[in-house]
């Protein structure tokens, strides 16, 4: 049975989370099958992942209504175990829907996203605007018809390739503080082009190029000139950041499961590898890292659901869990040995899948900056 934190850390959860855990386990086989039975190409697998998540009703956890962070964490823990590809699609659906929910705008699109009838992308990052989101150069100008015209380029945008709409962050006045706004951009809008990119761990990702893309006035999220797109973006990242740690936990749990299975079965020098003290030392370190990661994530998720801002706790969880998961998976590869670095091995796939989690939604360095400042000022 796939391990979930609700099994043994029940003090962080409520009965509804136990019900969700049962739903997640029931959905797991269909989602896991995406990687092996969804046609010949990556695009087919991406589309199959969207369909599997929609059929399971999981998009409703991240789109529409109020957000329960612990529920999203449970879902991402399971998805990290069964399909990092599906986890990425699921998470970005939430990143796209949440700004609309905050602004109480385009709620019909949020409903479609919750039902899996629309797929969203969160188009914030640019070639020269990564951690420094204030450096956004994509430009929006009013059109003669009362709408908007967008020009610019977004890069490293997940869900491009399956997305029907992108939430695009653009500035009304380049270089001006507070001039960023959010716009809903249908992918089939004339002047919008998607260029696929290839990441180390396969999932839909690409560049979004806007060249004179004409949008109606209603495309502006919030509909008011003073609706800060940057505030919406940062609030979204702050809400979902801790769930990145949960995905890392799921990947690490799968890697540890694979490693334990291997060392119990693999016989060397007349005994299973699991009996060797050095192997047991690796397993001990993995167990400590994994439990620390789970506890950090659930502390932050519990605080978020209680209505606390918990910015420092969230950064600690994101940093601690992703870095710990990287160590766990690296040790799993070491324990599996030569087979662990062969293409197609589970731990090899996880080794590629875990690395981006230390970068997106705030790099480890950004999290250290947030934590260090809080400690220096308040400890």
Euclidean distance between CA atoms 260 and 256, whole angstroms: 6
CA 102 distance to own-chain centroid: 19
Residue 307: Cβ-neighbour burial (10 angstroms; 0-12, 13-18, 19+) = exposed
Distance CA 207, CA 230 (A): 20
3-state secondary structure of 322: helix
Q: Are 300 and 310 in contact (CB under 8 A)?
A: yes
Question: Looking at residue 133, what DSSP letter applies?
Answer: G
Q: Which two tokens stand for residue 261?
A: 């299975």
Q: CA-to-CA distance for 277 and 152, rounded, in angstroms?
A: 57
Terminal CA-CA length for the chain:
42
Distance CA 32, CA 351 (A): 17
* Angle at 82 (CA atoms; ends 78, 88), nearest 5 degrees: 80
Burial 211-234 (b: 16+ CB within 10 A, else e): eebebeeebbbbeeeebbbbebbe
Q: Which among 153, 308, 361, 365 is annotated as catalytic? A: 361
Q: Which two tokens stand for residue 97?
A: 């829907």
Active site residue 195: no
Burial of 1 (0-12, 13-18, 19+ CB in 10 A): exposed
Q: What is d(CA 158, CA 85) in angstroms, rounded to the nearest whole number?
A: 10
Residues annotated as part of the active site: 361
């Amino acid at each position: 049975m796939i391990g979930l934190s609700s099994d043994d850390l029940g003090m962080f959860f409520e009965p509804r989370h136990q019900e969700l855990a049962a739903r997640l386990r029931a959905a797991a086989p269909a989602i896991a099958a995406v990687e092996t039975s969804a046609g010949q190409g990556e695009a087919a697998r991406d589309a199959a992942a969207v369909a599997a998540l929609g059929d399971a009703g999981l998009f409703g956890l991240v789109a529409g209504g109020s957000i329960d962070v612990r529920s999203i964490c449970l879902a991402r823990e399971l998805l990290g175990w069964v399909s990092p590809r599906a986890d990425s699609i699921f998470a970005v659906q939430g990143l796209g829907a949440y700004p609309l929910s905050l602004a109480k705008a385009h709620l019909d699109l949020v409903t479609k996203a919750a039902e899996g009838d629309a797929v969203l992308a969160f188009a914030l990052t640019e070639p020269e605007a990564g951690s420094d989101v204030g450096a956004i150069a994509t430009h929006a100008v009013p059109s003669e018809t009362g709408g908007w015209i967008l020009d610019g380029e977004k890069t490293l945008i997940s869900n491009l390739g399956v997305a029907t709409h992108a939430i695009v962050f653009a500035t009304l006045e380049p270089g001006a503080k507070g001039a960023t706004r959010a716009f809903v951009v249908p992918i089939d809008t004339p002047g919008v082009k998607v260029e696929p990119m290839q990441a180390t761990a396969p999932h839909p990702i690409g560049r979004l190029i806007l060249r004179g893309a004409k949008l109606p006035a209603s495309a502006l999220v919030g509909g008011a000139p003073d609706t800060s797109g940057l505030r919406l973006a940062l609030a979204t990242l702050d809400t979902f950041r801790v769930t990145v740690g949960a995905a890392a936990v799921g990947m690490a749990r799968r890697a540890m499961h694979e490693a334990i299975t291997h060392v119990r079965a693999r016989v060397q020098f007349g005994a299973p590898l699991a009996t060797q003290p050095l192997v047991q030392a690796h397993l001990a370190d993995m167990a400590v890292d994994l439990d620390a990661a789970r506890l950090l994530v659930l502390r932050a998720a519990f605080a978020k659901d209680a209505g606390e801002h918990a910015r420092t706790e969230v950064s600690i969880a994101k940093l601690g869990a992703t870095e710990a998961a990287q160590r766990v998976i690296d040790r799993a590869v070491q324990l599996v040995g030569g087979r662990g670095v062969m293409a197609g091995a589970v731990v090899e796939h996880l080794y590629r899948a875990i690395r981006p989690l230390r970068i997106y939604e705030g790099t480890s360095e950004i999290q250290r900056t947030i934590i260090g400042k809080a400690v220096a000022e308040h400890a």
